[in-house]
Structures are given as C-alpha cells and as structure tokens.
Chains A and B, each alone.
Chain A
C-alpha cells in the first residue's frame, strides 16, 4: 500500500511535500509514542516530533541506504532529539509526570505500529528478561542516563556497567531471534 521508505526519502530530497506527509502518516504514532516513552511528557513529545520532521525536511540529517533500514535511522534521530530536548528542559519547571496520561488499550498495541511482528517479538522477549536486566535497558536506552547514574541506580561498580548493558541487550536479542525476528532483519 505505502511506498517503501527509501523511495519516499529520495523524493524528500526533491522537496516533495507529499512524500514527507506519507512518512509522517506512517511514523507519527511510533515517533510520538517513543518520544513519550523517553520524555514522559506530551508537550515535549510533540516538540520531538516537530524537530525530527523538520530535520528530515531541511536535510539536517542524511540517511544512507547502505547503512541499514530507514526506520532505524529515523528512530536514532528521534532518540537523539528527545535526549537534546530533555537536557534543555531540565532546568525549567515542567510537569514531568504524566504516567496516567492517555494510553491506548493494551490489546491493540502492536496494531498501532507498521512493524507488528517486530513489536510483538521485542515485547514478548522483554517479558522473559529478569527484572534487573529490564531495568538496565530502561535506564540505559529509554532514560538515556549517564554511565555514572546507571552505576549508581544499579548499585554496581562503574567498570561493570558496559558489560551489563551488553549482556541485557544480547539476552533480549537472543530471545527475539528465537521468535524469528533478529534485530538485524530487514
């Protein structure tokens, strides 16, 4: 139904507004939800979405097809934009707890994203992980904490943090591969 992302991206280079709109429609939900997962704030999340599509449109970031999926590249930009904004807003008072904000119903979660299988696989795999490994992933990836903060929150020596992160992620990947969706599938 929808054109492959790579083709839409090429059309973006020629300032094709329709291409941007198609990418927007395809990724709005994922980009917004991911931003929210990181910032825990509606306003900030919308700023992230705005930032990301502005970057796409003005070509501040360049996607290189040889380096992997468009979606992975896009999500990296999203994560970096969220990190930037969170740092900027750190000092300004901001209602930073919206845990019970509008979240859609559990059963349809995977339906909301394009890559349903990937979403299902990663969710199921995450559940298999022990609580402390889930925590490592959350602190490292979603909270984007510093090396030192991660060590403090896990109450482990600085020198072991990298190893723990790697172990947790590897474990998650192994679980995913067993479900037929490795991290590097296309």
Chain B
C-alpha cells in the first residue's frame, strides 16, 4: 500500500504513463494485490459506461472503408501482391450504374473518362487499392471510374464477378473481380482474357483467397485497341498460359 507505484493506477488505466513507467507499473501489479483488485474493480465498474455515448452517425461508407483495409492488410501479410480481397457484400447504396454497353473496349476508356460522377464513389475505389495509388484529394480521378460488365458462368453456378474500367490520369486500367470461385491447388491460377472473334489475349492473372474471391487490375495500354467482344476467366494449370488451357469459369459479352 505504501508503495509510490500504487498512485499510478489511474494514470495506468488512462494510458497516461510512458512506456517505461507502464512496464514498471505492470511489474508492480504482479506483486501488489491491492492494485490488482482496484484495477479489476475499475474495469467492472466502468463496464456499462460506453452505453452513455450518444449515438453518432459515421460518415457514409465507413464499413466499406474499414473492412476493405482490414482485409487488404491481411493479404499483404500473406504476400499476395496483386490479389485484392473482395468484400462479400457491396455497399448498399451502390451508385446507379450506366448499363449502356459500349461496342468495344477502346472507346470504353474514353467514355469512362468523360462519364463524370457516374460512379463517383471513393469507397468503391477503395476496394482496389492497386488502383488507388494516386489516392486523390482531387475527386476528379475518382469520377473516372465505371463499372460495366457482370460476369457469370455460362453453365450457371455460384461464381460471379464484375469487370470495370478505371481511368486515372489518362491511364486506363481494367479491373476484374470475382467471387465464389472454386479453390485453386498447387500452381493453378485464374486468368483473365479478352477475346476478339475467338482470339484470346491475356489481361491479368489472379489467385483467390479462402473465400474464393480474387481480383486483378491490368493496364489497358498493354492491350492494343481491339474490337473485344468477350471477356472470359479461365482456371489455368499455371499463371503463365499463353492461350487458355482450362475451362471458362466466368464470362461476359462486351
């Protein structure tokens, strides 16, 4: 009781001690029963206090921002660079999307750049950290984003996905995300293809997380202006297939 350390209890509880003082106090706790009891009592007596907080509305889209960055952190730790986790549920207030189909992907990028505020939604961009490196204070960049294709399995099934075009500073990127895909084993990977009259060109590779979700961004500059008619995703034996070897798991007409 006479120990000077006992006087630090309040400051300890309120995080007011320096790291060193805190360590010292924790040492003290180990040997001082009365401090342990007082601390336990404080915790018990304060248990209901958070309910005194007046309910406050978070800024809209917080859930999406928080969960995206939490899951993103996870993927980083696992060391997948170009695999971005997809949230199971999209935000409820999804912006009204333009359902207009463009003839080909070359004009798509341009149209997207012009289609200001079609999908002007920062939260949406946040789901693809790979595309948000320009982390705009300038909201303009966010506006140059367009969600367009819904991917499905031609044979039916749970798997689904979306393909979008993002234009950042004149650079167009194809963003593909998919979920509920079958698990991969060994070296297997999912491969995105753009097809023109049956001729495939590679447009990104990704692997899925435990939930069967995955995503990839691919610079459109590397794709010559083709008259793409189909986007398809196949499951490949390895990440390097030059032509599709596996079955199409998701596809959409462009």
Contacts and interface: CB of A to CB of B under 8 A. Distances in A.
A33 B46 contact: no
B49 interface: yes
A34 B53 contact: yes
Contact of A103 (B15, B46, B56, B89): B56
Interface stretch (B24-32, B68-76, B107-115, B185-193): B68-76
B63 A109 contact: no
B45 interface: yes
Contacts of B49: 122, 137, 141-142
A115 interface: yes
Contact of A37 (B42, B48, B53, B58): B53
B91 interface: no
Contact of A50 (B42, B52, B55, B69): B69
Interface stretch (B3-11, B116-124, B128-136, B159-167): B3-11
B50 interface: yes
B137 interface: no
Interface residues of A, number: 72
Determine the main DSSP class of A at the interface with B.
helix
A34 B51 CA distance: 8
B56 A104 contact: yes
A142 B50 CA distance: 9
B88 interface: yes
Contact of B58 (A28, A57, A118): A28
B74 A57 contact: yes
Given A72-B47, A121-B48, A57 B54 contact: no
A139 to B, nearest CB: 10
Interface string A83-126: 11001000000000000011110001100110100110111001
B182 interface: no
Interface residues of B, number: 44
Contacts of B223: none
B10 A166 contact: no
Contacts of A15: 74, 210
B9 A28 contact: no
Given A30-B50, A83-B15, A166 B59 contact: no
A9 interface: no
Interface string B55-98: 11111001101110111011001000000010011000000000
Interface string A50-80: 1001100110000000001100100110111
Contact of B46 (A49, A118, A141, A146): A141
Contacts of A147: 7-8, 10-11, 16
Given A17-B71, A146-B11, A146-B14, A113 B55 contact: yes
13 contacts: A17-B88, A20-B67, A32-B56, A34-B50, A36-B53, A37-B52, A54-B69, A57-B71, A122-B51, A146-B10, A146-B14, A169-B42, A169-B46
Interface of A: 15, 17-18, 20-21, 24-25, 28-30, 32-34, 36-37, 42, 45-46, 49-50, 53-54, 57-58, 68-69, 72, 75-76, 78-80, 83-84, 87, 101-104, 108-109, 112-113, 115, 118-119, 121-123, 126, 137, 140-142, 144-147, 150, 158, 161-162, 165-166, 169-170, 172-173, 176, 181, 183-184
Interface of B: 7-11, 14-16, 38, 41-59, 62-63, 65-67, 69-71, 73-74, 77, 85, 88-89, 210-211
